[in-house]
Amino acid sequence: MNTADLGLPVDVPSTALFTDHYELTMLQAALAAGTAERRSVFEVFTRRLPEGRRYGVVAGTGRVLDAVENFRFDEPVIRFLRERRIVDERTLAWLADYRFTGDVWGYPEGEVYFPGSPVLRVEGSFAECVLLETVILSILNHDSAIAAAASRMASAAGDRPLIEMGARRTHELAAVASSRAAYIGGFATTSDLAAGFRYDIPTVGTSAHAFTLLHDSERDAFRAQVDSLGAGTTLLVDTYDVAEAVRAAVDIAGPGLGAVRIDSGDLLLVAHRVRQQLDELGATGTRIVVTSDLDEYAIASLAAAPVDAYGVGTQLVTGSGHPTCSMVYKLVARATSADPAEPLVPVAKRSTGGKTSIGGRKWAARRKDGQGVAEAEVIGTGPVPAALAGEQLLVELIKGGSVLSRESLDVVRDRHAAARAGLPLSATQLSRGDAVIPTEYV
C-alpha cells in the first residue's frame, strides 16, 4: 500500500499499528497458553531524569486518551497482519474485536514528576494492556520531553512571552504534538497552523527574509507589509544593515510600529542598540522579538536585555538536548487467573545494570513542608498514610474502557504553572543537579 494514498490527517484514524511486532507475538503466545486474560497492572515511570534536569513534566495524557480510544484493528489492518503472517488466525480474530475495557489512572496532565513516579497505571487483562505499551510510551516520552524543555525556557523567560516556531525542524505530525506540549510548558503562541487548528493554540507570524529579498529594496518590503498588515505588524530588521532597517521601519510604519524581529548576530548587543535607536526615533512602545536557535541558556543570558519576546524552534522540538524521558511500561502486578476476585501478585524485573523495577500496584503522594513547598515524592504499595491521604497524585482517567473526562489545554497549562511554583526555588535553576526533591518508598 502506498501511504500517500491514505490521505492521513493530523490525527490518524487508527493507532493500532503504532505498536511493536513483539506485542502481537506475546499476545498470540499468551492466548495459546491460557494466560492472556489474567488481570494485570502496568505502570509507566522513569528510573532517572535526563542528566541535569531537576523535575519532569507530564504531557501527552490527552493524546494518550485519544490513542486508546482509536486503538482498533479494522479490516485493512487485519489484512496487513494476515498477509505478513505476523500472528495466527486465532489471534487475528481476537484483535478484530479489540476494545480496551480496563481502567487507567495517572498523574494529571501538566503535573511534575520524579524518578519512580507512577505517571500512568493501566489495568485490565494482560492481552488488552500489553498492546498499548508502545503507543503510550511514544506519546508520553515525546510530549513530556518537549514540555520539560518548554518549562525550563518559560522559567528563564520570566514574564516575557515565548513563541513556538519549530515546525520546520521536526516531523510534521511531531510538530503539532510539540506545539501542544510547549503550550503546556508555558509557551504563549505557536507558528504552526495545524496546532492552532487541532488544539486551539493561538498562532502568530508575519514574514521571513525571503519576503525582504523578494522586493527591490528593504523599504519596499516594509512598505508592502505595513500596507497589508498594518503598523502593528512585526518587521524583520536583520536582512541587511540592522540600524538602517530600524530607521526605515519607523519611517514607514511610524512610532506605532508593533515590533521588530532580530534573528542573527550578538543578540544581547544588538537588542540594546535597537532599543536605544527605537527610543530615539520615538518608537518607545515598539517591542523587540529575538529568535536564532535559542535555548533556555540563551534565553537566561538575555534576561538583562531589552527583549520583549522570544521565538524558539530547534532546541524546543528536540527537547533541548533530551528528546526523550526514558519512560518505561512495566508489568508490576498480575493475578493467577482472569477471576476479578483473584488477588494481585506483585511482580518485578530483577537484573543488573540499573534496570530493576519495584513490584506492586502503587500510589503516589507529594509531601509538603509547613510553607506548602514540596519536599518529597512518596510512593507506596500498601495503605496510604493518613497524613498523605489528601496529597495523592493519581486520578482516574479511563474506567471500564470509557474516558471519564477531557481537559482544555489552558487548564493543563495552569496546572503546570501551579505545580512548578510548588517546588523548591532551586527547581528553576539551570545549573545541573539531581531531582529537586527525593523519591521515598514506603
Measure the CA–CA gap between 374 and 441, rounded to whole angstroms.
16
Share of the chain above pLDDT 90, in %: 93
- pLDDT tens-place string over residues 376-388: 999 999 899 999 9
Average pLDDT, the chain: 95
Residue 354 has pLDDT above 80, yes or no: no
pLDDT over threshold 60, residue 12:
no
- CA 372 to mean position of chain CA atoms: 27
pLDDT at 432: 83
- Read off the pLDDT of residues 288-304 as tens digits, 9 standing for 90 and up: 999 999 999 999 999 99
Averaged over 59-71, what is the pLDDT?
Answer: 96
4: pLDDT strictly greater than 60: no
User: Rounded distance, CA 15 to CA 413, Å?
Assistant: 26
**Domains of the chain (ranges plus CATH)?**
3-131+326-362+393-441 (3.20.140.10), 147-321 (3.20.20.70)
Cell triple for 436: 529537586
Average pLDDT value for residue range 55-63: 98
Q: What is the pTM of this model?
A: 0.94
The per-residue pLDDT for range 234-287, each reduced to its tens digit, is 999 999 999 999 999 999 999 999 999 999 999 999 999 999 999 999 999 999
pLDDT digits (tens, 9 = 90+) for 115-127: 999 999 999 999 9
Q: What is the pLDDT of residues 189-211, one digit of tens each?
A: 999 999 999 999 999 998 999 99
